[in-house]
């Protein structure tokens, strides 16, 4: 008789509807600073700013929360950007000389960014006088005339073309050729050489028909578009870099490749100017680098501004990235730590105004954006409400804290305000304030904590679209490093000239790699936190509202427990400072626990109600009572063959050989065991039986899926003793009648240790517990069959819900756990999830993810998913990220698969390693060293840009084209918005003309297409998160898989591209 194993009945329509109300995958917003910026633009009327990147992304920013994102079809570098003032339209130039017109369009009250038209300058011979190869028709510079309907294009060959911006078509018969310009130059002034490429184009504010054209070899001409003739010629002979035309039109400033700039005055009685009135090399007389860009701004108070980039002495400071600000006798050389991309001033642009009166200077650098207040003496920096460089030091870990109490939030904000604006800082507000944020005020405050390589922990406001910096904690001050001596030497060596001033916060260099932060945990109810580092240092800190001078208690915990035969070959421990130290307002260290050997901390957890902190390394785990400042427990988890754990991060050659040797042994063993299996003689009969079973099986019954065969892991694998997770819980461990404090630890070899803790109980109404010592007794020890690393542990109460955090239940901030029914413990390994009953620790239910899906678990978290249909209904589920970049959601405690989505590219190892989930169904992961991608798994809890912009531009000539463009069914910020590509004439591509409304609802919600970020195409990080050997193996894959990926990539490129709007 044939037997079938049935798992469950077919899909329940009610449950499928409930899934759609609970779960929905969206990539919502990108936090941080755009990766590899390449262009900058500013609209002075709308007060919005645009940044273009080398991957073809376009990002527009206004007031905090006002963001628009677009992506060019071709992943080409954006070289120039120009706003059509007041119209919400942006013209972009790519490095392939193609022009693209973007428009901010409103739909259902919200605005989104859309590419309207594209244009490529023709290069065929004989076109409008441009009989030249394509290299000579490469667009070098773009100018939008003041009227806003015409663009002027300068080319490599020296020709100037005129373009209708509304339709992106060339204006016939208006091209300015180099020959026509040369005819305007007197014969005695011609040198017989070509003019060179068009280097700069400038418009006249009062007379839009006049255009200043600057050629590479130094010649400047004023071309009158109305009369089609040259009005004035300036005979410059230095290689030109940039131009600036003064507001009145009588002053022209040119900068040159030799580090000089010249000021030209127009003589009303002559059409020819032979010499500039002023020519100076500000940092001469020795050879200087080129002044790449120069601005001239006049002031009503007297004393014009001259702002330029570059021009530094080549031999002494040629490697500096500087912007110089000169007003009258005041010169400040702004010294940045990354390359300058572009800069602009916020000033008056109304034609009727007589003066520019600049208010602020914005400088876009390769790694950050700096804004200076030009109206405050000293020109201080203006704190940025967004676009802060997350990677000012490389991110090494991250954590999210949800539902932060208002009191703690105010204390953190206050501490940040006291440390951030230094004396003499700006009092003016952020100048980029365009648009309106339509998103509702966040219902709860969320903190994102990032640990960095230099020993700092940064606190970010992650409640809304704009990721705002709140506070920075620096742990390096507790240890003795060489950085103070180096700083004093650098300051002593610095000369008074040039007058350098360090600006910006991007500092990629770490004084000591041992300072790097590996793990962070924060208790939001007691304002206590623990920070663990690379050299085994574990810091317990507490928030203080006043500066304090005190000594920090230091204790050591030996995790080897005097085990023989092990010698630590890694780095030394950090030396703490002795004696009382002055700590500023903010988190102040109370206890320093030093793990021995000083290996990197791999896991940490904090229980403030019991005043306990647990920590783990590659050698074992320890438990410390920070109230009594005494160790409670130390357990070594090393295997006798685990030699790699003793070598530290810098000794990898021998361990790599050993790992490869063991891998080959496993492969050989599996092949031999496969050959020994005799072939079944009745294979044909089995096939017939299988077909018969398939026909006999009812169609509405789901069969148990085929499971992959998983090879058990060897017990003597290297790094098997690494502690992967630690957990505190008040649960039943000894018997079913008495519950009490417990500590759980999971290791890389699949071992789980459960300790029963004897913690003195505090009296009623008293925060601190008695001073009696805490005792720990080993209660249970579980060994998983396949020895897969344990990723997470969580105890579930009698209702199947996770236990509340410390103080949540005692302060009535959360529902008290059910202590009547039986508890269960959920153990998540890299291969499967398993629920055990407590206190017997017998298996209750499990899900073999690796056997079913062929992937491994990388990150897990318990999250609450609220329904969009019913406010009172919510489910607690297990969210899981795999090594393939997929996100799976499982019910708890039943472990039934609910939904799964493709979230991160499987090749993006660093992105997968950096992922962090929130308690309400959202998540963050790094798409570049400077950007977090935010995504949501919840249908209700979504943080996305919802904004509008007051724009005014003539729609008569483009109304027909806009009616043809696809309508969007979702607001800006939702990643499932995909616009159909349009041809160069503006008509939509017929192959992609379907609107978003044609999607199947069930597919759109349950199985969305994977959409990668614009900046994640070819970005890799140096160090972030816990990148393991398994991650690298997953990345490399097999040759067949690589060939398949290449084929898929080629097919994707062959298809018509779409535009992603967020």
The DSSP bridge partners found for residue 856 are none
For the chain, the average pLDDT equals 82
d(CA 173, CA 340): 38
pLDDT at 372: 95
**What residues pair up with 141 in beta bridges, in sequence order?**
154
pLDDT tens track for 144-194: 987 778 999 999 999 999 999 999 999 888 889 998 888 888 777 776 678
What contacts 214, CB < 8 A, 6 or more positions away?
Answer: 198, 199, 200, 201, 202, 220, 240, 242, 243, 254
Separation CA 347–CA 970 (nearest Å): 36
Locate tokens 């008040």: which residue?
Answer: 730
Backbone angles phi, psi at 181, to 5 degrees: -70, -40
Sheet with 219-224: list strands edge to edge.
198-203, 210-215, 219-224, 229-235, 272-273
537-555 confidence digits (pLDDT tens): 999 999 999 999 999 999 9
- Strands 139-144 and 150-155, how do they pair? antiparallel
State the Cα–Cα distance between residues 376 and 372, nearest whole angstrom: 9
**What band does 272 get if pLDDT is binned at 50, 70 and 90?**
confident
- pLDDT exceeds 60 at position 973: no
Q: 786 is written with which tokens?
A: 């396949």
pLDDT tens per residue across span 846-892: 999 999 989 999 999 999 999 999 989 999 999 999 999 999 999 99
What distance in Å separates the CA atoms of residue 165 and residue 102, rounded to the nearest whole number? Answer: 11
The mean-pLDDT minimum among 215-224, 762-771, 792-801 falls in 762-771
Handedness of CA 850, 853, 855, 860 (dihedral sign): negative
pLDDT given at position 25: 97
Task: Kindly tell me the sign of the dihedral angle through the C-alpha atoms of 502, 506, 509, 512.
Answer: positive
Q: Is the pLDDT of residue 329 over 90?
A: no
Looking at the DSSP assignment, which residues form a beta bridge with residue 569? none
781 vs 489, residue with greater confidence:
781
What does the alpha-carbon distance between residue 619 and residue 719 come to, in Å, rounded to a whole number?
9
- Band of pLDDT at residue 428, cut at 50, 70 and 90: low
Q: Which run of H or E residues covers position 90?
A: strand 89-94
- Pairs from 244-249 (Cβ < 8 Å, separation ≥ 24): 244/202, 244/294, 244/295, 244/296, 245/202, 245/203, 245/204, 245/205, 245/212, 246/296, 246/298, 247/205, 247/298, 247/353, 247/354, 247/355, 247/356, 248/206, 248/354, 249/204, 249/205, 249/206, 249/207, 249/210
Mean pLDDT of 477-482: 86
Tokens 């062959």 correspond to 1054
- Contacting residues for 382 by C-beta, under 8 A, at least 6 apart: 360, 371, 372, 373, 426, 428, 429, 430, 431
Token pair for residue 620? 């074992």
Cα–Cα distance, 521 to 541 (Å, whole number): 10
614: cis peptide before it, omega within 30°?
A: no
Confidence of residue 809 (pLDDT cuts 50, 70, 90): confident
- C-alpha to C-alpha distance for 746 and 163, rounded to whole angstroms: 66
First to last CA, the chain: 58
What sign has the CA pseudo-torsion 1046, 1051, 1056, 1061? Answer: negative
**Running DSSP on this structure, what letter comes out for residue 306?**
E
d(Cα 282, Cα 284) in Å, to the nearest integer? 6
Sheet containing strand 468-474, edge to edge, reads 395-401, 447-452, 456-461, 468-474
CB proximity list for 730: less than 8 A, separation 6 or greater: 739, 740, 741, 742, 803, 817
Q: Are strands 843-848 and 291-297 parallel, antiparallel or unpaired?
A: unpaired
Determine the number of helices (DSSP H) and then strands (DSSP E) in the chain: 13, 66
* CA 240 from centre of chain: 38
What is the C-alpha separation between 781 and 787, in angstroms, rounded?
Answer: 13
pLDDT grade for 911, boundaries at 50, 70 and 90: very high
User: Can you tell me which residue has the tokens 């300015």?
Assistant: 176
pTM: 0.83
Residue 250 clears pLDDT 90, i.e. is over it: no
Residues 610 and 768: their CA atoms lie apart, in Å, by 8
Q: What are phi and psi of 60, to 5 degrees?
A: -115, 135
d(CA 897, CA 455): 40
Q: Which tens digit of pLDDT belongs to each residue from 180-191?
A: 888 888 777 776
Mean pLDDT of all residues in 592-611: 96
Measured at the CA of 760, the angle between CA 759 and CA 763, to 5 degrees, comes to 135
Taking the C-alpha atoms of residue 215 and residue 163, their distance in angstroms, rounded to an integer, is 20
With 80 as the cut, is the pLDDT of residue 246 above it? yes
Q: How far apart are CA 77 and CA 96, in angstroms?
A: 8
Residue 954: predicted pLDDT: 58
Residue 609, classed as helix, strand or coil, is coil
The pLDDT assigned to 1031 comes to: 54
Q: How many CA atoms lie within 13 A of 699 on its CB side?
A: 0
Rounded-to-integer distance, Cα 78 and Cα 83, Å: 14
| Whether the predicted pLDDT of 559 surpasses 90 | yes
Residue 1015 confidence (pLDDT): 41
How many Å apart are CA 861 and CA 879, to the nearest integer?
A: 5
SS3 at position 264? strand
Radius of gyration of the chain (CA): 33
Take residue 46 and report the two structure tokens written for it: 């709308």
Question: What average pLDDT does this structure show over 627-645?
Answer: 85
Helix, coil or strand: residue 665:
helix
* 3-state secondary structure (DSSP) of residue 10: coil
Rounded CA-CA distance 465/539 in Å is 32
- Under DSSP, is residue 975 helix (H, G, I), strand (E, B) or coil? coil
Tell me how crowded residue 686 is: count the other CB atoms within 10 A of its CB.
10
Residue 861 and residue 935 in contact, taking contact as beta carbons nearer than 8 Å: no
Q: Tell whether the torsion through CA atoms of 755, 756, 759 and 762 is positive or negative.
A: positive
Distances (CA, A) of 977 to 26, 61, 472, 1001, 1060: 10, 19, 36, 14, 6
* Bond into 756 cis (ω within 30): no
Q: What is the 3 state secondary structure string of 195-217? A: CCCEEEEEECCCCCCEEEEEECC
Q: Which bin fits 824, alpha (ψ -120 to 50), beta or left (φ > 0)?
A: beta
Report the pLDDT value the prediction gives residue 789, as an integer from 0 to 100.
95
- Asked if omega into 789 is within 30° of 0 (cis), the reply is no
**1047 Cβ neighbours under 8 A, 6+ residues apart:** none
């Amino acid at each position: 008789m044939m037997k079938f194993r049935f798992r469950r009945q077919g899909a329940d329509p009610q449950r499928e509807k409930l899934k759609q109300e609970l779960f929905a995958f969206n990539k919502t917003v990108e936090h941080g600073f755009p990766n590899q910026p390449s262009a900058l633009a500013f609209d002075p009327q709308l007060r919005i700013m645009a940044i273009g990147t080398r991957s073809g992304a376009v990002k527009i920013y206004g007031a905090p929360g006002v963001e628009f994102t677009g992506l060019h079809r071709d992943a080409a570098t954006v070289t120039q950007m120009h706003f059509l003032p007041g119209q919400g339209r942006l013209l972009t130039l790519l490095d392939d000389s193609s022009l693209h017109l973007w428009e901010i369009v409103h739909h259902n009250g919200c605005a989104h960014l859309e590419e309207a038209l594209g244009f490529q300058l023709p290069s065929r011979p004989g076109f409008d006088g441009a009989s030249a190869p394509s290299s000579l028709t490469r667009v070098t510079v773009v100018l939008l005339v003041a009227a806003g309907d015409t663009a002027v294009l300068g080319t490599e060959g020296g020709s100037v073309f005129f373009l209708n911006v509304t339709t992106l078509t060339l204006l016939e018969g208006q091209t300015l050729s180099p020959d026509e310009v040369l005819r305007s130059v007197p014969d005695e002034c011609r040198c017989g050489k070509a003019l060179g490429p068009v280097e700069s184009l400038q418009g006249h504010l009062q007379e839009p028909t006049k255009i200043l054209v600057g050629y590479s070899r130094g010649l400047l001409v004023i071309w009158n578009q109305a009369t089609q003739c040259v009005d004035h010629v300036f005979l410059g002979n230095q290689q030109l870099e940039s131009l600036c035309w003064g507001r009145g039109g009588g002053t022209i400033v040119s900068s040159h490749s030799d580090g000089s700039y010249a000021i030209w005055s127009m003589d009303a009685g002559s059409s020819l100017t032979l010499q500039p009135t002023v020519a100076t090399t500000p940092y001469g007389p020795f050879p200087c680098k080129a002044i790449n860009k120069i601005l001239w701004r006049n002031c009503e108070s007297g004393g014009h501004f001259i702002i330029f980039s570059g021009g530094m002495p080549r031999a002494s400071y040629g490697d500096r990235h500087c912007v110089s600000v000169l007003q009258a006798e005041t010169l400040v050389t702004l010294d940045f730590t990354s390359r300058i991309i572009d800069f602009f001033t916020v000033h008056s642009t109304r034609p009727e105004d007589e003066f520019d009166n600049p208010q602020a200077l914005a400088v876009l650098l390769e790694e950050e954006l700096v804004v200076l207040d030009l109206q405050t003496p000293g020109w201080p920096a203006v704190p940025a409400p967004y676009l802060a460089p997350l990677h000012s030091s490389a991110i090494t870990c991250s954590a999210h804290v949800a539902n932060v109490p208002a009191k703690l939030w105010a204390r953190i904000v206050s501490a940040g305000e006291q440390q951030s604006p230094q004396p003499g800082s700006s009092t003016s507000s952020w100048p980029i304030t365009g648009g309106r944020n339509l998103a509702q005020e966040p219902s709860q405050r969320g903190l994102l904590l990032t640990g960095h390589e230099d020993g700092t922990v940064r606190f970010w406001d992650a409640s809304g679209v704009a990721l705002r910096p709140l506070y920075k904690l620096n742990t390096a001050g507790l240890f003795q490093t060489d950085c103070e001596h180096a700083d004093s030497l650098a300051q002593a060596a610095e000369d008074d000239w040039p007058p350098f001033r360090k600006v910006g916060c991007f500092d990629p260099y770490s004084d000591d790699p041992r300072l790097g932060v590996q793990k962070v945990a924060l208790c939001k109810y007691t304002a206590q936190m623990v920070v663990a580092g690379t050299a085994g240092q574990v810091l317990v800190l507490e928030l203080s509202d006043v500066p304090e001078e005190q000594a920090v208690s230091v204790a050591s915990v030996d995790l080897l427990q005097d085990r023989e035969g092990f010698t630590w070959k890694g780095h030394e421990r950090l030396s703490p400072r002795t004696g009382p130290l002055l700590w500023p307002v903010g988190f102040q260290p109370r206890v320093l626990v030093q793990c021995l050997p000083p290996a990197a901390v791999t896991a940490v957890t904090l229980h403030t109600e019991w005043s306990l902190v647990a920590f783990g390394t590659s050698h074992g785990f320890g438990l410390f009572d920070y109230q009594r400042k005494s160790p409670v427990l130390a357990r070594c988890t090393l295997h006798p063959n685990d030699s790699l754990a003793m070598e530290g991060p810098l000794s990898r050659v021998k361990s790599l050989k050993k790992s490869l040797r063991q891998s080959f042994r496993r492969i050989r063993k599996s092949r031999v065991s496969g050959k020994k299996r005799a072939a079944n003689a009745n294979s044909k009969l089995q096939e017939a039986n299988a077909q018969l079973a398939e026909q006999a099986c009812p169609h509405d019954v789901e069969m148990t899926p085929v499971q992959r065969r998983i090879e058990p892991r060897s017990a003597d694998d290297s790094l098997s003793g690494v502690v992967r997770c630690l957990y505190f819980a008040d649960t039943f461990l000894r018997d079913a009648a008495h519950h009490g404090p417990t500590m759980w630890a999971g290791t890389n070899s699949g071992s789980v240790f459960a300790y029963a803790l004897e913690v003195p109980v505090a009296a009623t109404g008293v925060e601190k517990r008695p001073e009696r010592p805490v005792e720990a007794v080993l209660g249970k020890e579980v060994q998983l069959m396949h020895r897969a690393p344990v990723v997470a542990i969580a105890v579930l109460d009698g209702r199947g819900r996770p236990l509340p955090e410390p103080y949540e239940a005692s302060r009535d901030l959360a529902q008290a756990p059910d202590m009547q029914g039986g508890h269960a413990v959920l153990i998540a390994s890299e291969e499967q999830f398993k629920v055990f009953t407590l206190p017997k620790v017998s298996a209750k239910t499990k899900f073999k993810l690796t056997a079913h899906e062929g992937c491994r678990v990388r990150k897990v978290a318990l999250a609450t998913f609220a329904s969009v249909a019913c406010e009172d209904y919510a489910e607690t589920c297990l969210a899981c990220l795999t090594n393939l970049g997929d996100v799976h959601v499982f019910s708890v405690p039943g472990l039934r698969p609910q939904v799964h989505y493709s979230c991160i590219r499987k090749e993006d190892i660093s992105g997968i390693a950096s992922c962090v989930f929130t308690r309400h169904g959202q998540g963050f992961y790094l798409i570049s060293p400077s950007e977090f991608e935010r995504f949501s798994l919840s249908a209700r809890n979504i943080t996305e840009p919802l904004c509008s912009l007051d724009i005014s531009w003539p729609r008569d000539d483009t109304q027909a084209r806009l009616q043809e463009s696809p309508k969007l069914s979702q607001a800006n910020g939702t990643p499932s918005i995909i616009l159909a590509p349009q041809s160069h004439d503006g008509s939509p591509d017929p192959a992609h003309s379907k609107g978003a409304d044609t999607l199947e609802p069930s597919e759109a919600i349950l199985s969305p297409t994977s959409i990668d970020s614009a900046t994640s195409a070819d970005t890799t990080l140096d160090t972030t998160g816990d990148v393991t050997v398994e991650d690298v193996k997953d990345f490399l894959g097999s040759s067949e898989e690589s060939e398949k990926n290449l084929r898929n990539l080629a097919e994707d490129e062959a298809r018509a591209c779409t535009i992603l709007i967020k």
